[in-house]
Chain A
Amino acid sequence: MGEKILMKGNEAIGEAAIRAGCRFYFGYPITPQSEITAYMAKRLLKMKDAAFVQAESEIAAINMVYGAIATGVRAMTSSSGPGISLKQEGISYIACSELPCVIVNIQRGGPGLGSIQPAQGDYFQATKGGGHGDYHLIVFAPSSVQELVDLTMDAFDLADKYRNPAMILGDGLLGQMMEAVEFKERPKVNLPDKSGWTLTGCKGRKHRYIVPFDLDPRVLEKLNKVLDEKYKRIKEKEVRYEAVNIENADLVIVAYGTVARIVKTVINNAKKEGINIGLIRPITLFPFPEKIIAETASKINKFLVVEMSLGQMIEDVKLAVSGKAEVNFYGRTGGVIPSPVEILEEVKKYL
């Protein structure tokens, strides 16, 4: 405990999940996340009361998760682009059934088979539901290997706390990079008891069922409202972000994950040229840190959203800014990573 070890991002996610008590992993190989699957195989196949299954597809994998979490255990699946698309029906079922699990998406270039290089084109899919119906995931956007670890552990806790699927939205760069990480001693959190809803056999109680449907529209509307209330609580309590240098900035960049790392370099480079750039880095994408963005918009009149997409998060930034400031966009896509130099060039256009 306490010592730092050098780990690849994807393996760090696996280790973090295991340390968070996850003993059940179901997945299907896809680049750039396959190291998570391999790591879980290496560890879980040697553990007692644990299971690793290389599923026949991502569809099967998410449904194996659905079965496992129904019995009350912590379970995880991971994938990238095309595989995450295949999981969407299952994720919608899990959200409807209010079951907790962690889904990792190490994003790659899209659409279609796309590329295997890092991208952020799955923002809409991750934050707006992704599958059918009205639901949301709790979405974390780590920006370092250390954060992959910490947020994976938090994701399990919050999933349990809210009985809601949580997603780690990384990208190929984070998944593949090596960094020193520390598996910190974590304060014990009080999580709700699961015994009131798990399927364990009906010994000593009435039989119970998990059914993600109701043909009576009024009953289903009620269920949707219960979910909505939950999302409101999540929005109130679980927003996380990092704000860097936003007081008196000439322009504030909003970026998450890998892009936010690059922007930190941009901030330092810009300082040398006498340009004062701020950064708001959402750590949770759902709930989105709209309040800090709104507050900043009343003090600073220029924003630049930088994403490895053609502009997805910018929609949430614009909603938060609500016309109070100018919101500009710079994006690279298809697996291209924006360089500090080009981002600074872009900043200069607006100053």
Chain B
Amino acid sequence: MKKVFGRPESLTDVPFTYCPGCHHGTAHRLVAEVLDEFGIREKTIGICPVGCSVFAYLFFNCDVICAAHGRAPAIATGIKRSKPDSIVFTYQGDGDLASIGTAEIVHAANRGENITVIFINNAIYGMTGGQMAPTTLVGQVTQTSPYGRDPKTMGYPIKMSEMLSTIKGATYISRVALTKPAYIVKAKKAIKKAFQVQLDGKGFSMVEILSTCPTNWGLSPVEASKWLEENMIPYYPLGEFRTPEEVA
């Protein structure tokens, strides 16, 4: 396969299989660029989730293990504890991290595991065809909230970054978006900071990336970006919730 121009070394030559307009690809690329810039690809072990990014092992040009749904932070713990000189990151969706894997993420943060978490919040279960996620917005129609998410019986969308930032062991927590170049620049900075925290041995870091799922939102890529900006960002404010300075 021909090398695509400017493709980071930390990505393989395998073309992404994500839907058009899906942010998983952009998120992969940013992580890969950061691995390249730190020169840590060869000592990095990634953990991909069950979700649309279950195929991330094909795309990341580093060692990768595929976790059971939600369990990536536990696997990351086992890897980092047995091989402390490696750089360990998990890549998880919102169903994975904020629903079935809530215990694992909370306790990895609480133990201050020296790992980096990339959290893709697309407000839906992408892989299984568009069911409600814990992050699905109030009123949002999904396969399992066909009349819109009703907080009376389905609860309110969970804010993981805010929640995890109350945990002392969490060193760096930030929420970013990818809908415009300025956001992408910030997102990359955040991912870089997160890996820096790990490189410095300072503990748990997470970047929540607000992402599109045009396919299951039933929108075009352009409409999806617009929907994210108009609906997700107001509820899920961007920014840093916890930084190493604050912790120190």
- Whether chains A and B associate is yes
Listed in ascending order, the chain A residues whose CB lies under 8 Å from chain B are 24, 26, 51, 53, 55-57, 59-61, 63-71, 73, 75, 89-90, 93, 97, 199-204, 207-213
Q: Are B66 and A211 within 8 A (Cβ)?
A: yes
- B77's partner among A53, A59, A211 (CB-CB below 8 A) is A53
Establish whether residues B63 and A202, one from each chain, have CB atoms under 8 Å apart when the complex forms: yes
- What residue in chain A is nearest B72 (Cβ atoms)? A63
Q: Are B78 and A63 in contact, with the CB atoms below 8 A?
A: yes
Are A63 and B64 interface neighbours, CB within 8 A?
A: no
The distance in angstroms between the C-alpha atoms of A199 and B60, with both chains bound, is 14
- Tell me which of A26, A56, A75, A201 contacts B104 (CB under 8 A): A56
| Closest CB in chain B relative to A104 CB, distance in Å | 17
Please give, as numbers and ranges, the residues of chain B lying within 8 Å of A68 by CB-CB distance: 78-79, 81-82
Question: Is there contact, CB below 8 Å, between B63 and A60?
Answer: no
**Which residues of chain A are within 8 angstroms of B65 by Cβ–Cβ distance?**
66-67, 70, 97, 199, 209-211
Q: 10 closest pairs, A vs B, by CB?
A: A67-B78, A63-B74, A67-B75, A68-B78, A201-B43, A51-B81, A56-B107, A64-B78, A203-B42, A209-B57
Chain B nearest Cβ from A220, distance in angstroms: 14
Interface membership of chain B positions 70-103, coded 1 if the CB is closer than 8 angstroms to chain A and 0 otherwise: 0100111111111100110000000000000001
Q: Among the interface residues A59, A60, A70, A73, which one has the most CB atoms of the partner chain B within 10 A?
A: A60
State the CA gap A63–B75 with chains docked (Å): 5
Q: CB-CB < 8 A to B158: which residues of A? A: none
Q: Which of B171-194 contact A (CB under 8 A)?
A: none
The interface residues of chain A, by DSSP majority, are classed as: mixed
Instruction: Say whether B68 contacts A64, CB under 8 Å.
Output: no
Residues of B within 8 A of A (CB): 12, 41-45, 47, 54, 57, 60-68, 71, 74-83, 86-87, 103-104, 106-107, 111
List of B residues within 8 angstroms of A93 by Cβ:
68
Nearest to A212 among chain B residues (CB) is B66
Q: Are B86 and A201 in contact (CB under 8 A)?
A: yes
**Distance to closest chain B CB from A58 (angstroms):** 11
Give complex CA distance A66, B68 in Å.
10
From B77, which residue of chain A is reached at the shortest CB distance? A64
**In the complex, what distance in Å separates the CA atom of A73 from the CA atom of B12?**
28
**Cβ-defined contact, B86 with A26, below 8 A:** no
Q: In the assembly, what is the distance between CA of A169 and CA of B44, in Å?
A: 36
- Given A207-B61, A209-B63, A212-B66, check contact A202 B78 (CB 8 Å): no
14 CB contacts below 8 A, A to B, read A55-B74, A56-B104, A60-B71, A60-B107, A64-B74, A64-B75, A67-B47, A67-B77, A70-B79, A71-B82, A89-B68, A200-B83, A202-B63, A203-B43
Inter-subunit contact B103/A200 (CB<8 Å): no
- CB within 8 A of A207: which of B63, B71, B74, B86? B63
Question: Once the chains bind, are B81 and A201 in contact (CB under 8 Å)?
Answer: no
Residues from chain B with a CB closer than 8 A to the CB of A73 are 82
A51 touches B12 (CB 8 A): no
Are B54 and A213 in contact, with the CB atoms below 8 A? yes
In the complex, the answer to whether A63 meets B82 with C-beta atoms within 8 Å is no
B62 touches A202 (CB 8 A): yes
**Cα A208 to Cα B60 with chains together (Å):** 10
Q: How far is the CB of B73 from chain A (nearest CB, A)?
A: 8
Smallest CB separation, A214 vs chain B (Å):
11
Alpha-carbon distance between A204 and B41 when the two chains are bound, in angstroms: 11
